[in-house]
A and B are shown apart, each in its own frame.
Chain A
Amino acid sequence: MVENFPFFSIFLPIFAAIFCMLWHERYAWHFTLGSTAITLLLSLATLNYIYSNALSVTYLMGHFPAPFGNEIRFGALEAFMASLFSGISLLTMWGGTATVRCDIHPSKLRFYYLMENLLLAGLLAIIYSNDIFTTFVFIEIATIAACSLVSAGENGRSLLASFVYLAMSLLGSGLLLLAISILYSITGHLLFAGLAESIASLVATGSYTLPLAVLSALTIAGLSIKSAIFPFHGWLPEAYSSATTPTSALLAGIVTKTYLVFLLKLICRVFGRAYWASMLLSRIFLACGVMAILYGSLQAMRQRDLKQTLSYASISQIGYISVALGVGTIPALVAACFQMVSHALSKSMLFMATAGLAEASQGETSYKTLRGAARRNPVAAAAFVVGALSLVGIPPLPGFMAKLYLAQSALASPEGWLVVPVILLGTVLGAMYYLPALATLFGSDTAAWSDRESAEGDKSPPALLPASLGVFISLTVLLGFFAPQVWQILEQGIINLH
């Protein structure tokens, strides 16, 4: 019975999306939150069932056997990621209710929630699917939904940012489709199990080396464009800073991670860890990650707007994930997953805290208007401090555990001489760009602000944003303290990924 839950958790948001369209806007909000909450419960139940029995389940759609039918496959890793993504989606939609109602025109709110449901459905299907073309189709669905969400803001900047995001994302999908077509023409399979066998036999006999190298390069290029790894990060700062803040929280938290989870599945299930570690491409990927860490941190130090700082910080943190994927050993892959989890939680919390601080500062996020915002909105400031400390890497918080695991796994591999100093340097640079932000927030309050009320009336029940920020803070602290348990779940997931 529990094995049916992933299938339902993919299709429930799609039905909720359809229902969002039909009625009044108020019901759209209820449908979205209800369906996301049910998806979260289903994913947690699946995770509990899978982890306690140490299973990896292959689910045949429609009872058709392997080469003819489609498959969903889930182990501990997929169930954990699905729970995380639906949880973050629920918290950002719940906490961002007031901000979304202010920023988006009321007649368009139904479509906003519809796109958000479709985004969640697409991301869950990418995580769960066992077939490379199904994943491609849902990648496209997620791309269109994410671009619609970015363009939903009322300013012209978000329109241009959405157009650039769309063009670059489609270029990435085109490269991915080219890689899929070469892969299909040399192996003849589309399901991951068949692909893994064919690629193993091709590598063993040494035939088709040039097509295999080309298609791996195309896949990495396509997925790097979509998840903003260093040379292809151009769309990210504009897209994150011009979208409405709950949307930025959603995009920064879960969308870019999903493509990296897909890359992880390709490495473990299709190419095989041994083949990936022997390719020059994994070293190039690692080098791009290193440059992302340094470039993101250096650019983040120059910004004068809080959302721009957080966007460049995202580029830097995603660099850690790609460094871990480039190293390629099992502890490194688990460290990559842990960094994904920790960054998803912390960055979403930082963006929601920015929403809270901006609400108390007349809706703007530049450093000039945010001076002293900590006194106007203490809960949001507390959440910002916790998130910033976690991403910099202060001990009990999960960001520190992620960097520790990454450094431990890199020391055991031949690239340790490069990775460990870069992690230390990245930590120092991270402190250097979060400190001006914290100093601005806790700086002296300008007198004109302190007796001005917030101009937007509350059309929604109050205290939703502080409540969701409270849940975020407690989840982050819990993740930091229970890091070894989470490590075990992820490790079992990655070992069972084959």
Chain B
Amino acid sequence: MYLEMALLLYLIVAAVTVFLRQRLLDAVIIYASYSVVLSAVWLLLLAPDLAITEAAVATGISGVLFFVVLKRIQAMDAEHSLDEEV
């Protein structure tokens, strides 16, 4: 039970952190970690099909899509993406 509470607390902290970071690269990386922990939470809720889908689709495909978009909008490099508008 304490493991579950710790993971859920991580989810909330990660969700808040995503929006407080200025750089888009940081936000997308923290969002990908959010997806991985959410996948573990699905396992704790005894739903293995959800865990597989979340890991493959939401972390894998959605994460890759966000990174490709970051490359297209030139926010990938740590030096370039200092402003939030970029």
Complex A–B touching at CB under 8 A? no
Which B residues have a C-beta under 8 Å from some C-beta of A? none
Which A residues have a C-beta under 8 Å from some C-beta of B? none
